[in-house]
Amino acid sequence: MTHDVLASDLPRVPLGDWFDKAVTWLTDHCGWLFDGIGSAVESVVDGLVDVLTFPPALVLTVILAVVALVLRGWKLALFTLVGFGLIDSMELWEPAMDSLALVLVAAVVAVVIAIPIGVLAARNDTVSRVVRPLLDLMQTMPAFVYLIPAIFFFSIGVVPGVVATVIFALPPGVRLTELGIRGVDKEMVEAGEAFGAAPRKILGGVQVPLAMPSIMAGVNQLIMLSLSMVVIAGMVGAGGLGGVVLEGINRVDIATGFEGGTAVVVLAIFLDRVTSALGDRTPVAKAAARR
């Protein structure tokens, strides 16, 4: 009873209304920008889907297995052959390639945004203090919430799925990039400064190479989060495996849902192992492995 009285005495903060007005204003005044972004994203995703679906499934599976063999070894290559062969046998090849294209495009966009922000945050404490609460908000906000403004700006389809995925996946890329650069030995930076190297050369020649294992870990986490959004993106018409899983949910079809989920797991394991292998191939990681 006391709780109800106290709650009723507090003025309501119309936070949702403010956000709604902001989204409406952006839609009214920046519609041309969102149309351009939507067209560009859709064209890139469609082009990548065409590339992935052009060769027969068996041919692309072999190519991916060779990539896995070179980067990680025969175990991942064997898993790739079996896993992608299973996807093809379940007749989910095209949805899987749709999802893979969506994830790759979203991950590339997120990396292009995240790494510069992480570098800037590492080199400027003010930027870091501003960015940190924004990243906290982005990480704790339910993923479904991102779909609402994305639909408002870009309508239904693959574009809002990509945009929501980019926003959802950004935080680990920014955080681990900042962490990696801040963790570089100060003596190494001071040595570069002592030799008269410009700040940009110190960044590109010392800090970024030494921070690369942490940066690649951020890229790995970013890709995993992008893939976790596939099912949610299916709710806004992005298609792919998310659409398959959503169909299984709507029809209460256990078989369809399980097969779609299994295909997502295969993609997740493949992408995780490949990106981890790329991180292990950085000069710093190789040097650490030799010790």
Residue 23, number of CB atoms within 10 A of its CB: 14
- Here the CATH number for the domain that contains residue 193 is 1.10.3720.10
4 found inside a domain: no
Instruction: Give a yes or no: residue 248 inside a domain.
Output: yes
Dist. CA 9–CA 5, nearest whole Å: 6
- Give residue-wise pLDDT tens across range 102-114: 888 988 999 999 9
Determine, yes or no, domain membership for 2. no
Render pLDDT for 79-104 as a digit per residue (tens, 0 to 9): 999 999 999 998 889 999 988 998 88
What pLDDT, on a 0 to 100 scale, did the predictor assign at position 280?
67
Domain tally, the chain: 1
In a domain, 212, yes or no: yes
Is residue 13 domain-resident? no
pLDDT > 70: percent of the chain: 91
Give me the half-sphere count of Cα atoms (radius 13 Å) on the Cβ side of residue 156. 5
Structure tokens given for 83 = 């896993």
Which of 20-24, 182-186, 214-218 is most confident? 214-218
| Mean confidence (pLDDT) of the chain | 82
Q: Is the pLDDT of residue 189 over 90?
A: no
Q: Is residue 250 part of a domain?
A: yes
Please check whether residue 219 lies inside any domain of the structure: yes
| Residue at 9 is within a domain | no
Q: pLDDT tens digit string along 33-64?
A: 878 888 888 888 889 989 988 889 999 999 99
Q: Residue 147 sits in which domain range?
A: 27-290
